[in-house]
Structure 1
Amino acid sequence: MDYIFKTIYFPRDRVRSGQATRVTVSLPTVDGPADPPGFVDYLASLGSAELREALGDRTLEDLEQMAAREDRSFSNECVRLIRESFVADTRGNEPRTGAITQASVPFGDAAPGVTFKESKRLPIFGWYPYVEGFSAPYVHEVVKRYGAGRSIYDPFGGSGTTQLAASVAGIPSWYSEVNPFMRFVADTKIEASRAARSNLERTDARLTEFQTRLTTELPQWASKVDLAGYHEAFPGRDFFVEGHIRELLGALDLAKEVAAEDEAVSSLLRLAVAANAVHASNMTRRADLRRRRADEYKTRVVDVPVMVGSSVERMLADLHQHSVNAAPTTFVSADCRQAPSQFDGAFELAITSPPYLNGTNYFRNTKIELWMLGFIASERELANFRGQAVAAGINNVNKKRREYRVFPDVESVAEQLDEQATDQRIPLLIRQYFSDMAEVMESVHRVLEPAGRFVFDIGDSKFYGVHVPTDHLLESIAETAGFAVESSTVLARRYSRDKSPLVQRELVFRKDA
């Protein structure tokens, strides 16, 4: 079935956290057997406020709890409630209203339905702020749509959204991820939280002890910090006010003492510190990590014990809500193109948001956290990770990389850029990206079971006036890998830097049975 995607805006007074939120729902485009005549057309006509009114103007949390009680996806529960309202109003001969007659699509720089914005407020999902993160409600929607219940795989695991969404649904998951810090984030959200929840009394005591000692002892711990490693890792770079980096590193030392041999608590506390590293620095993370401008965050106050303590407080609250039956996640490989053969045919569904062809340097963005938790000793080591990753950004382009594979459709675009691009790394980037993604397609096809599906969102790009139809090119490459293209759905309208229209799509590929 085809779907349209609409965003429902919940103002602050309709969200218990007090933070206004947008949630994207998928709505059917064809009347089902249980639908009264005209129902789908009515759905398509509703704007955000009208959708919320049709849902009874309930709070977001009430709707989420109703969906959970009935074991439905959030979208399906919304459709059910609106259908009931539609039938009741029709029987009462009340006029149907609708502001528009064509299905609306979310507009903006990115689709709220497939970005991290919707995940930030959810228990555990929001423990680490990740610009490139996925949307937990979207993952849940896909899982429900295809009825997956045994095994889910994310070839670009990132901060663990797919894995955690599967875990809370009781479904085991597997993932690949090059960045070791992101692997740590994912494993802490799923594995450490499962272990901590299983011994909640001990976890509660140790996290509470850490909070208390953080308030009273941090100055002493900070004074003992040796900054030699920091200066060696980032020579001449004033990423932090010295007092703040001392407090962050002191908090890590305190966490080690409090956690002792409890690995789950250790992971939780280390993540609580790392999650506040950029916010406590002179940097900011937008599309890329960069230095804060003088006119940004004028009211910002860096209070490390309060910031870290608040993260720990949230962890405690979230763990008390966490399911005792959460399913595990398993690391498959750093590079998804090199998944071990033991996983051949193992997964019924793969869900991911792959690297976009947009220049984002996914490793530089987390270099502070990578260093802080001991995954690198200097910035120079970032090159080792880039060499293992899909060539999605200009910093990944390297003539020393292995030979790229040639695809006629890709070449037709790359050859235009050979003529138009003043930076000749761009056409090489195009060739290497699609060559790498071909290997991703082949690897995912190999680890899926017969009739398994590969679902992901992707956006197109534009360089030097040349449009790169990433979605269409990947469809062609997926077919060469053995997939059938099952559907392509617009998730959002986007714009390039020159204001040219671009789109973000959900692509669904199916492995032949």
Structure 2
Amino acid sequence: MTKQIQVKNGKITAVQAKDVTHSGGRGEPFHDWFPYLEGYSSQFVKQIIDAKFENPKNLLEPFCGVGTTPIALAQLGISCGYTEVNPFLVELVSLKTICLRMKPSGRIKAAETIQTLKQLIRNDSNTAKSDTLLKTSYSGVFGVVEYFRENSFKQILRLKTLERKLECDLSKRFMRIAVSTSLLEASLLRRAGDVRFKTEKELLKPIPDILELVTEKLSLIQSDLNLNGLPNEQEIVFLGANAKQLHTDAMPSFDGVITSPPYLNGTNYIRNMKLELWYLGFLNSKVDLQKFRQAVVTSAINDVSRASGLVVLDEARDVVEAISQDCYDKRIPKMVAGYFEHMKIVAEGIWGQVRSGSPVCIDIGDSIYGGVHVPTHSVLAAVFESVGFKLEDETVLRKRHSNRGAELSQRLLVFRK
């Protein structure tokens, strides 16, 4: 049995490390549809509820990702409003929500729909014509860079043709998610922190067939649909794409927050999902990728724009100046300054959304650049307190390490309005 969070005198004193990573949720319904390495498990969400909340009815998730928080909350009888800037993830969460809210008869029909899709792929995928629009958009987004072997690319174009011909909206949704979540494994890329090209040694291992991957993903979704007892009474509501646009003067309607903002560690959350965004039609040119980077909370080098770093919060000034003295890339201090500037905007939005006395629980990690430690948790705590929140609790969830072996951490910050 999973070890619960330990609480003493209202303070969280211990937590099982695997629960705060994506791997801790393997095997849970809806969790394995997409391997979101930056995520945590539903068990972690449930433990936070037990430790820090008293009968919440409706929580806010400003950085929804693959939907772990709202799905876990729904299973506890708690509604959730969320924002998420990545439209691929929004579509993924939307389908999970639809499945979660299905009545037993609806799940049976959905499982039959998936069975028909698998049969369609087996019978028609090799004879379907290539989708010319998707092929054209690939050139517009990626130019001449090859992310797939020729046969895999042709199969992807044929799958898109099959998808476009589907008349049933639910069939189309299942097909889109099954293909998009299988693309990376069928490509010449791999996830290793960020997405990168496989090495020659890694390419010696056979690349899985895209048709088999899609069929397996459909079978996984089908299996999750067959589970009994999934609740469907609670609301999971998409509030908008951008956490920086939460209304600061809203009528408070949420009983708190459980979220994990982007880590300030250079991970490019949009670029890492460019294949999925391309296949789903959200990327048609290189300009589209830039638009998404402008919408996110600045946390990666490639997020830095001309406007980044023009505002340096007092809470972040010391660390920005320290990095500016000796950094291997002039964009780094701008990235750090931009991150905390954006997170203050998010904090102000959260303040306007949650009721007085509500817990705001944030999973965050620190980072290091050029030997300069960026105590993200400490600076972020100061930023939230400048908005009016009170830091109630800080717990080290697990130890982490930088690429060069420097010790870092993952922490849970708990504020109270």
Calculate the TM-score normalised by the size of structure 1: 0.75
Who is 1:93 aligned against? none
Task: Note if 1:478 corresponds to 2:384.
Answer: yes
Task: Note if 1:368 corresponds to 2:275.
Answer: yes
Who is 1:172 aligned against? 79
Among 447, 451, 461, the residue aligned to 2:367 = 461
> In 2, distance between residues paired with 1:336 and 1:344?
17
**2:264, 2:300 within 8 Å by CA — same for their partners in 1?**
yes
Who is 1:330 aligned against? 237
**1:124, 1:315 within 8 Å by CA — same for their partners in 2?**
yes
Who is 2:136 aligned against? 228
Who is 1:304 aligned against? 210
Task: Note if 1:432 corresponds to 2:411.
Answer: no
How far off is 1:456 after superposition?
Answer: 1.2
- CA offsets per residue over residues 89-110 of structure 1, 9 Å max, x none? xxxxxxxxxxxxxx9887xxxx
How far off is 1:437 after superposition?
Answer: 1.1
- CA offsets per residue over residues 294-321 of structure 1, 9 Å max, x none? 1115333422222111111111110111
Who is 1:144 aligned against? 50
Judged with a 3 Å threshold, the aligned counterparts in structure 2 of structure 1 residues 411 and 441 are, in CA distance, closer, same or farther, namely same
> In 2, distance between residues paired with 1:498 and 1:332?
39
Please state whether the residue corresponding to 1:390 is helix, strand or coil: coil
Who is 2:192 aligned against? 286
Among 67, 75, 85, the residue aligned to 1:160 = 67
Please state whether the residue corresponding to 2:256 is helix, strand or coil: strand
Write out aligned runs for 1:236-315 (5 A): 236-258=144-166, 260-261=167-168, 263-296=169-202, 298-315=204-221
Task: Note if 1:494 corresponds to 2:400.
Answer: yes
Who is 2:223 aligned against? 317
Two-structure CA RMSD over aligned residues (Å): 2.4
How far off is 1:256 after superposition?
Answer: 4.2
Query: 5+ residue gaps in structure 1?
Result: 1-7, 9-22, 32-74, 76-102
- CA offsets per residue over residues 32-74 of structure 1, 9 Å max, x none? xxxxxxxxxxxxxxxxxxxxxxxxxxxxxxxxxxxxxxxxxxx
Among 19, 22, 31, the residue aligned to 1:113 = 19
Among 16, 26, 51, the residue aligned to 2:5 = 26
Higher relative contact order (CA 8 A, sep 6+): 2
Write out aligned runs for 1:396-415 (5 A): 396-401=303-308, 403-407=310-314, 409-415=315-321
Aligned amino acid, residue 382 of structure 2: S
Who is 1:204 aligned against? 111
Among 347, 350, 358, the residue aligned to 1:441 = 347
Who is 1:57 aligned against? none
Query: 5+ residue gaps in structure 2?
Result: none
The structure with the largest alpha-carbon Rg is 1
Among 116, 127, 137, the residue aligned to 2:33 = 127
Please state whether the residue corresponding to 1:243 is helix, strand or coil: helix
Aligned amino acid, residue 304 of structure 1: I
Who is 1:416 aligned against? 322
Judged with a 3 Å threshold, the aligned counterparts in structure 2 of structure 1 residues 438 and 30 are, in CA distance, closer, same or farther, namely closer
Who is 2:412 aligned against? 506
> In 1, distance between residues paired with 2:236 and 2:15?
34
Judged with a 3 Å threshold, the aligned counterparts in structure 2 of structure 1 residues 217 and 169 are, in CA distance, closer, same or farther, namely same
Judged with a 3 Å threshold, the aligned counterparts in structure 2 of structure 1 residues 148 and 274 are, in CA distance, closer, same or farther, namely farther
**2:5, 2:14 within 8 Å by CA — same for their partners in 1?**
no
Query: Percent same amino acid among aligned pairs?
Result: 30
How far off is 1:419 after superposition?
Answer: 1.2
> In 2, distance between residues paired with 1:194 and 1:311?
20
Task: Note if 1:355 corresponds to 2:334.
Answer: no
Please state whether the residue corresponding to 1:178 is helix, strand or coil: coil
Calculate the TM-score normalised by the size of structure 2: 0.92
How far off is 1:480 after superposition?
Answer: 0.9
